[in-house]
Amino acid sequence: FGDLFEEFFKRRGPGGPNGQNGQPDLPRQRKSQSAGSGFVIDASGLVVTNNHVIGDANEITVIFNDGQRLKAEVLGKDAKVDLALLRVKPEKPLKAVKFGDSDKVRIGDWVVAIGNPFALGGSVSTGILSARNRNIEQGPYDNYLQTDAAINKGNSGGPLFNMAGEVIGINTAILSPSGGSVGIGFAVPSTLAATVIDQLKEFGETRRGWLGVRIQSVDDATAEALNLGTARGALVAGVDDKGPAKPAGLEVGDVIVKFDGKSVKESRDLPRIVAATPVGKDVPVVVLRKGKELTKTVKLGRLED
């Protein structure tokens, strides 16, 4: 609300809607600030946060628990998964945390969220893991962990820990009619985040695999028509003439049920699996075509923005 009130009073000016003594305000530069959270993953000074926390900021300051303030540079950021990697230059090694395996967490497990809600400073909240693999329609790779630990404005970019002190998620969003925590928070799972962060560290950008197909979901009626038994996989609705799938022999009507050894349970699984696969890798793709199971080998391309 701070920005809204500031904008309101700036428009009105000290003398009414038009400024001092009713005269129009002169254009003036506006400086705005925002606060978020982050965590150190390397003692040399690598810091992870959300992309939306830093946005297009021209100056970023990282404030540590001991009061130390360090200027940060952006090594890379990824808007699709909403992550950013920063570097600071400390005088002595920092305390760092490690990523855990978010694929191993179970619904009901205890979790701890640490962050900077409403710019109050370091704050801890606890809860349980409420759900996995949530799609909140924020991007093509939605696969959020859901928790009832209190997460509010300013918590974005902070770590979600398991009871072993490992980061299993990065707190990113909440669902809230009121604007505050109502016990429905979402975190980017560590298995997805670690892959993106490794690429930001190495390349300064995210390099995603590209298959070159247009897909749609498989419902019960489609599964019955294609003799799939149960609804599963991703139905190929189109093949890009310039994409890797074309020379590999994938066709419209194929149902992709396995990619690089990973099962495709529903259509939205496929883009995430493909994106996380190294560019240029020869990948076995299992498809169902006219009731028969076939395996095609695709040499993945790179997905361009």
Tell me the pLDDT tens digit for each residue of 112-128: 999 999 888 889 999 99
What value does the mean pLDDT take over residues 187-203? 94
Distance separating the N- and C-terminal Cα atoms of the chain: 33
DSSP character at residue 269: H
Question: Predicted confidence band at 65 (pLDDT cuts at 50, 70, 90)?
Answer: confident
Average pLDDT over residues 159-184: 92
Question: Average pLDDT of 60-66?
Answer: 92
* Percent with pLDDT over 70 in the chain: 89
Specify which residues 262 forms β-bridges with: 259
Please tell me which residue, 292 or 6, carries the higher pLDDT value.
292
Give the residue numbers annotated as catalytic, written as ranges. Answer: 52, 82, 156
Q: Within 13 A of 258's CA, how many CA atoms are on the CB side?
A: 11
How many angstroms separate the Cα of 48 from the Cα of each of 72, 99, 250, 275?
A: 11, 11, 38, 20
CA distance 78 to 201: 12
Whole-number Å distance between alpha carbons of 67 and 44: 18
Say whether pLDDT at 94 is over 90. Answer: yes
Share of the chain above pLDDT 90, in %: 67
Residue the block writes with tokens 């760092």: 96
pLDDT at 17 over 60: no
Evaluate if pTM is beyond 0.85.
no
- Does 143 score more than 70 pLDDT? yes
The pLDDT score that the predictor gives to residue 122 is 87
Examine the pLDDT at 254 and tell me if it is beyond 70.
yes
- State yes or no: pLDDT of 154 exceeds 80: yes
Handedness of CA 111, 116, 122, 125 (dihedral sign): negative
